[in-house]
Structure 1
Amino acid sequence: MLKDAQGLVVTTYSANAIAAINRFLDQMLGYGKDAETAVLQAIAADPTCALAHAYAAAYYLTQENRKAWQLALPYLQTAQQYCTKVTAREKLYIQAILAWANQEIDVAIATHEEIANQFPRDLISVQQGQYHYFYTGNKEKLLEIAQKVLPSNPQQHYLYGMVAFGLEQCHQLKAAEKIARQAIALNRYDPWAHHAIAHIMETQGRVDEGIAWMESFADTWEDCNSMLYTHNWWHIALYYLQLKNYEKVLKLYDTHIWERANKQSPKDQVGAISLLLRLELRGVDVENRWQNISPYLYSRIDEHALPFQDLHYVYALAKAEHHDWVNQMLQSMQYHTLSINPFLRRSWVEVAIPAARGMVAHAKGDFNTTVAALKPVLPRLHEIGGSHAQRVLFGQVYQDAVLSAQKQSWDYGITA
């Protein structure tokens, strides 16, 4: 058996498979666009390597859409087929990805924690543990799982970026900026560390500095996957939004966000939707951009990969006036809650579905219903995931609805 670049044993005798796995690790940790190619090369080099198959399944699961899930399952089945003689770490990792595929996110989290405890140099596992904490709203554990493996990974810039983001989400901004800058000093091409500082500067109102900072690294994002490429530009657009330079925001949307998006990617779609909504809340006419997005959302109606994503989809469909699709999606969300485990079900039933109704009401101009639906769930919106910068949008929708409802009431009183 051979070791990967992390110094961890992989059950394979193929040097080519190890080389491809190392490329995959670097691509995943660095949000590169060639992760899929790398992991498929690893499988081609050694079709019996269970870990390579599990990595492929994990890659497809990160796409958070039904087509990718279907691609993941055969790889996961093959990983299980060859897992009888693998190491304890590999076996745990396969179990974590199987739990993810089964939507047993609590089990997946517990398994990634076990890997972090026993094999702290397994940064892909740490990254995926953070991913699950992010989308279940547990910012403290998102930070903790990365911090606890720091002693085993000195000078590892990818991990520094992961810790920086966790610190930022826990409002430890000074410490977050320090370690993010350490990551970038080790490797200028670390987009997640750039991203962490984008959050910090936005939170602190360092708008001009944030623009200069992010734009100075934009050349390094050309080899990023579409998710982080568009998301980092999304952060730049938020800075210009704060400056009320709406023409610039629309230009960034058209050139670096929707234009460069993978139109089938849920995360790319969510970024585009959230930026259009932010613009409209400021009174900007986004013209036909809702209609341009909506055809790509039909396949999302019955998917329900993440409640955070669903709130964006259903709003965009309502804005594009696909009211039948909206009703179908709301009904489908309700039905979805019957088939998921209790760990996820509560947030769907008590937070996501009421919030979705509120978002639809806002899109339709029914502001009283928006206020009634969103007010009770705002304190719990962290449970459906997303960052502070992303979730603040729902509070803005609520505030807009409050003001609009008051205005409607006032106008009605005058005309009556």
Structure 2
Amino acid sequence: MVSDLQGNSLSGATTAALDLYEGANRAFNLYRGDPIGLIDGAIQAAPDFAMAHILKAYLYGVATEPDATLEAQAILARAKTLSLDEREMSHIGVLELLLAGNWTAAALALDKHNINYPLDLVGLQCGHLMDFYRACGRNLRDRITRVLPKWSAAVPGYSIVQGMYAFGLEECGDYGRAEATGRQAIALEPLDCWAHHAVAHVMEMQGRAEDGVGWMRTREACWSGEDNFFRVHNWWHLSLYHLDLGNIDEALRLYDGPVRADRSQVALDMVDASALLWRLSLLGRDLSDRWQELAEVWDQHADGRLYPFNDWHAVMAYLGSGRDQDVERIVTAFRAEQGEAPEVARWARHTGLPLVEGFVAFWRGDYATAAERLQGARFIVNSFGGSHAQRDIIDWTLTEAAVRGGMKHLAEALVNERQALKPHSRVNRGFLTRLHQSWSH
């Protein structure tokens, strides 16, 4: 029986197909290169290679894009006809839950899978991504903690596991250990974009904007290549540092350059583009042409059903481009009663809807309604939606609504909150200045 680099058996694999499969795995681990092309090569070399089909289904399944999800469902149907061992059958069960829109159930099934197969790197990485997409900071850390003693530097992929652990530590607020672990992972594998971005998150959360710019620039060659799936997200992080330093023109230059120059149609890249444009608009920039371009690309992904975090970011672009009919389309989808609906429908109705309503109200100048909706919607951890850094846009918008709406006591409380976290941020100091000016009148 052929086995992977970590010693897991691979049903239907051949030695020739194994090399292509491991190449695809490495590309996935590092978020660079062409994992789909490599995995297609493995399947061509060994059509009954179960884990090759399973990995391909995961790659499409975690893309959070409607067309990719349909492709994943077709791949899964093929995989279920193959001869499978217990580990591979376990993956099939996870994929069935994931592709039905039940992210938490899928993540919990992978918890059990990871405990039973602690050296299954595909299972660990896909579970880590599911924890990220549902904003479960504790499990981003503890999924890795539970299996880490089984790993060592002698096991291939150890640095990748360390990189995931670093991000989990960061999302749980353990910034010192997160940075140290991320740096250790990068020392072992300099091309590990996830570990690099874990350290970037630490600096963002600690308000170390100058350190962050230095961190990104000195390692730029490792994360900015054209074959790097994570490059736009890392450029986005660099833009956030510049916003905190008051370098608004530089952040806008980065948007027009590496963040959006290639007009990416990848949902994750478009999330970053919407989030950066929204922040720039809060700072008073006229971005109408940019919003229009982005809104048109969002049309292929924003269906109001697959993943509410993406739909919310599409709404930002629809608002910016004046496409009210598309805003209403998403809101209507979020409000729809769906009976025995998948988890993502509950996310949309109970968390996504007030979030979108708050942003719509803000854009239209109804700051009281915006504040009312966003005060609750900002606490979406363990529901859905990315990292603490990504979700900060909610708090920023809420604070802006309170300041613009003359809600002095609420504004003061929110500004105090932001100042305590990042006292040197030019954005937060700007809030403080405006607050003092409003109190003086």
TM bracket, shorter-chain basis: over 0.9
> Which deviations, in whole Å up to 9, do the C-alpha atoms of 1:278-311 show, x marking residues without a partner?
1111222335211111111122332532222221
Match of 1:157 in 2: 159
Deviations 1:27-61 (A, max 9, x none): 11111131111111111111111221111111111
Q: Which of these residues, 153, 156, 171, is aligned with residue 169 of structure 1?
A: 171
2:307–2:344 contact (8 Å) kept in structure 1: no
2:146 partner letter = K
How many angstroms apart in 1 are the aligned matches of 2:228 and 2:66? 18
Matches within 5 A, 1:17-416: 17-82=17-82, 85-155=83-153, 156-223=158-225, 227-260=229-262, 262=264, 264-335=265-336, 337-338=338-339, 340-341=341-342, 343-380=343-380, 383-406=383-406
Aligned 8 A contact 2:20 2:42 in 1: yes
SS at match of 1:103: coil
SS in 2 for 1:385: coil
Alpha-carbon deviation of 1:370?
1.0
Rate the CA distance shift 1:37–1:344 in 2: closer, same or farther, 3 A. Answer: same
Question: Could you list the per-position Cα deviations for residues 303-362 of structure 1 after superposition, in whole angstroms to 9, with x for gaps in the alignment?
Answer: 532222221111210111001111111112223754623x44443322211111111122
Cα-to-partner distance string for 1:102-136 (whole Å, 9 max, x where unaligned): 12223311221122111111122111112222222
- Partners of 1:3 and 1:380 in 2: CA distance: 41
Structure 2 CA distance, aligned partners of 1:367 and 1:173?
A: 34
Structure 2 residue matching 1:300: 3-state secondary structure: coil
What secondary structure does 1:384 align onto? Answer: coil
**Shift in CA distance, 407/226, structure 1 to aligned 2, threshold 3 Å:** farther
Letter in 1 for 2:41: Q
Q: 1:39 to 1:93 in 2, by over 3 A?
A: same
Quote the offset at 1:16 in angstroms.
1.8
1:413 corresponds in structure 2 to: none
State the one-letter code of the partner of 1:246: I
Sequence identity (%): 30
CA contact (8 A) 1:201 1:209 kept: yes
Distance in 2 separating the partners of 1:227 and 1:331: 33
Unaligned runs of 5+ in 1: 409-416
User: Partners of 1:237 and 1:357 in 2: how far apart?
Assistant: 27
Alpha-carbon deviation of 1:96?
Answer: 1.0
The alpha carbon displacement at 1:171 in A equals 0.3
Q: Deviation digits for residues 140-193 of structure 1, max 9, x if unmatched?
A: 112101112212221211111100000000000111111111101111111111
Query: Per the alignment, in what secondary structure is the counterpart of residue 3 of structure 1?
Result: coil
Per-residue CA deviation, residues 61-118 of structure 1 (Å, 9 max, x unaligned), is: 1221111112212211110010xx3221111112111211112223311221122111
Q: Secondary structure at the match of 2:379?
A: helix
Pair 1:226–1:333, CA change in 2 (3 A): farther
CA distance in 2, matches of 1:9, 1:277: 48
- Inter-partner Cα distance in structure 2 for 1:346 and 1:61: 19
Structure 2 counterpart of 1:350, one-letter code: H
Change (3 A) 1:57 1:312: same
Contact 1:233 1:256 in 2 (8 A): yes
How far apart in 1 are the matches of 2:374 and 2:208? 30
Query: How many correspondences in the alignment?
Result: 404
Q: Distance in 1 between matches of 2:381 and 2:356?
A: 11
Range 5-14 or range 237-246, more displaced: 5-14
SS at match of 2:80: helix
What CA distance in whole angstroms lies between the structure 1 residues aligned with 2:359 and 2:260?
22
| 8 Å CA contact retained: 1:301, 1:328 | no
8 A contact 1:337–1:349 mirrored in 2: no
- With the length of structure 1 as denominator, give the TM-score of the two structures: 0.92
Change (3 A) 1:301 1:207: closer
| Cα distance between partner residues in 2 of 1:252 and 1:153 | 39
Determine if contact 2:334/2:345 at 8 Å carries over to the other structure. no
User: Taking structure 1 as reference, are residues 268 and 286 closer, same or farther at Cα in structure 2, changes over 3 Å only?
Assistant: same
Q: Cα 1:79–1:169, aligned 2, differ >3 Å: closer, same or farther? A: same
Moved more, 292-301 or 245-254: 292-301
Q: Deviations over 1:209-253 (max 9, x none)?
A: 111111111111245756411001110111111111111111111
Task: Give secondary structure in 1 for the equivalent of 2:190.
Answer: coil
| Cα distance in 2, alignment partners of residues 67 and 390 from structure 1 | 24
Secondary structure of the corresponding residue to residue 149 of structure 1: helix
Secondary structure class of the residue paired with 1:379: coil
Instruction: Tell me if structure 1 keeps the 8 A contact 2:2–2:15.
Output: yes
Cα distance, 1:261–1:212 mapped onto 2, change above 3 Å: farther
Mapped partners of 1:12, 1:188: distance in 2: 33
* RMSD, aligned CA: 1.9
Unaligned runs of 5+ in 2: 409-441
* Contact 1:226 1:268 survives alignment (8 Å): no
Q: Which amino acid aligns with 2:350?
A: E
